[in-house]
Amino acid sequence: MGFVAFRGFGADDALATLASMGVRRMLTPLMVTVRLSSGVVGAVVAMVGLAPPARPGWVIAGSLGILLWSGLFALQMLRRGPSPLLTCADVLVVMLLLLAHPWLVPAEVRAVSAGTGWVDIIAGASVWIAQFGLRQPFGLAVGFLVAAAYAVGDGQVREAPLHLAVGAVLAAGLVTALRRSADTADAVLADAADRRHAAIVRAAVRSDERDHQRHLHDTVLATLTMVHTGGIASESTALRECAAADLAVIEGLRARPASADEPGRPMVRLDLMLRFGTVRPQLGGTPLDVSTDISPVELPADVATAMAQCVAEALTNVARHADTGEAHLAARAHDDGVSVTVSDNGVGFDITAVPPHRRGVRESIEGRMRSIGGSARVRSGSGTGTRVVLRWPDG
């Protein structure tokens, strides 16, 4: 149980979070500074004191010992960070000095020093270090234990033990407030991280749903619309081929997990995808003569696939709505990405008049480009044709 109680500030505490680690990093140099400065000052005061020492051999051994211990304490603290065991070892060393108080400081000096002797300096630093290195109430109990050891070594209760006890209370209150603030900050950060993670998950699910909707719009709904409007005969060979392709798309959506994370991003040639087989024949639309001006472009496979699908949807719209048999397709690589343009000289349309339920441009083109970090700009007007510009990444 004791180990668990001290564990909250241990060096190997895997549960420590950002704010708690910040407090730990702040307390480490503070503990090192307190121990080194008190050890050096205490040793100097012991060696050059005005009054003759009670026992010179004991004073020399005690001052050199505290110097060596201060150096070892600082080295271990900087190497491994605050440790309950190291803190308790420091308290033990100081308590040994306090119990040897009568042999380290003459009685007449102890009677008038009022806690300002060299041993008092070492003891006061130990009380503060205990509060920095141990959780409460153990730090406070150890501080009282140091004060009690002072009284036992001195042989009577004077101001110095009381000063040590008061110092322990003040230091405990300060460090407790600091750690509680860190715990509160950790709780806020953890809550923010949970909410951010939940938002990312919701966005990923929504993105996957939209991707499914785009695929269905581009395939199944397009085929059904043309059959319903009589754009193609039910016995047509093209209808059977398109229906088979649509079923393959649906099976692919069912087989692909919504949260699958594909390792790596293989590169493919977008220009080859646009030239060969990516844009399928337009079912029931006006036959198109598509002129091309395409330069070699290599992109991540997911980006190239999405852009090719946007091009297919744009050409489908030209075939069905532009009342023209010609379209132009251009693709250019730039220093910061790629741009693809689909244009025609057809009848055009009023973009602001498109009903909200029509999702061809809004989702199958603009939404799909946003999902890969790109953008789509559609410019059109009655009698002026239509121009669709795809850019990746979005500049």
Under a CB-based contact definition with an 8 Å cutoff, are residues 335 and 240 in contact? Answer: no
81 and 173 co-located in one domain: yes
Q: Please state whether the peptide bond connecting residue 393 to the residue before it is cis, i.e. omega within 30 degrees of 0.
A: yes
Q: Which amino acid is at 90?
A: D
Peptide bond into 137 cis (omega under 30): yes
Q: How far is CA 366 from the centre of its chain?
A: 30
Asked if residue 6 and residue 138 are part of one domain, the reply reads yes
Among 147, 173, 192, the domain-final residue is 192
Q: What is the pLDDT of residue 374?
A: 93
Range of the domain at 349: 262-395
Cα–Cα distance for residue pair 180/126, rounded to 1 Å: 23
Number of domains in the chain: 2
| Torsion angle of the four alpha carbons 91, 96, 99, 104, in this order, in degrees rounded to the nearest 10 | -120
Written in H, E and C, the secondary structure of 165-220 is HHHHHHHHHHHHHHHHHHHHHHHHHHHHHHHHHHHHHHHHHHHHHHHHHHHHHHHH
Name residue 329's amino acid.
L
Burial of 39 (0-12, 13-18, 19+ CB in 10 A): buried
- For CA atoms 77, 83, 89, 92, the dihedral sign is positive
125 found inside a domain: yes
**What's the CATH number where 390 sits?**
3.30.565.10
Tally of CB atoms within 10 A around 106:
18
One domain for residues 71 and 176: yes
Residue 339 located in a structural domain: yes
Residue at which a domain ends, from 192, 212, 244: 192
164 lies in the same domain as 279: no
- Per-residue model confidence as pLDDT tens for the chain (395 residues): 333 333 333 333 333 466 667 777 778 888 888 888 888 888 887 777 645 555 777 878 888 888 899 889 989 888 887 788 888 898 899 888 888 877 877 666 666 655 557 888 888 888 888 888 888 888 888 889 988 888 888 777 777 788 888 888 888 888 888 878 877 777 777 677 667 756 665 665 566 556 655 555 555 555 555 555 555 555 555 555 555 555 555 555 444 444 334 445 678 888 888 876 545 544 455 678 888 898 888 888 888 888 988 898 898 888 888 888 899 999 999 888 899 999 999 999 888 777 766 666 777 788 889 888 999 999 998 888 999 999 999 86
Q: What are phi and psi of 297, to 5 degrees?
A: -140, 125
Residue 358, judged by CB atoms within 10 A of its CB (0-12, 13-18, 19+), counts as exposed
Let me know if residue 210 belongs to a domain. Answer: no
10 Å CB burial of residue 375 (0-12, 13-18, 19+) is middle
Answer yes or no: do 26 and 162 share one domain. Answer: yes
pLDDT at 241: 57
284 in the same domain as 172 = no
Q: Are residues 275 and 184 in the same domain?
A: no
AA letter at 234 = S
Q: Are residues 187 and 298 in the same domain?
A: no
Task: Say if 231 falls within a structural domain.
Answer: no
Same domain as 299, residue 164: no
In a domain, 301, yes or no: yes
Q: Which tokens is 101 given? A: 């108080």
Q: Are 188 and 271 in the same domain? A: no
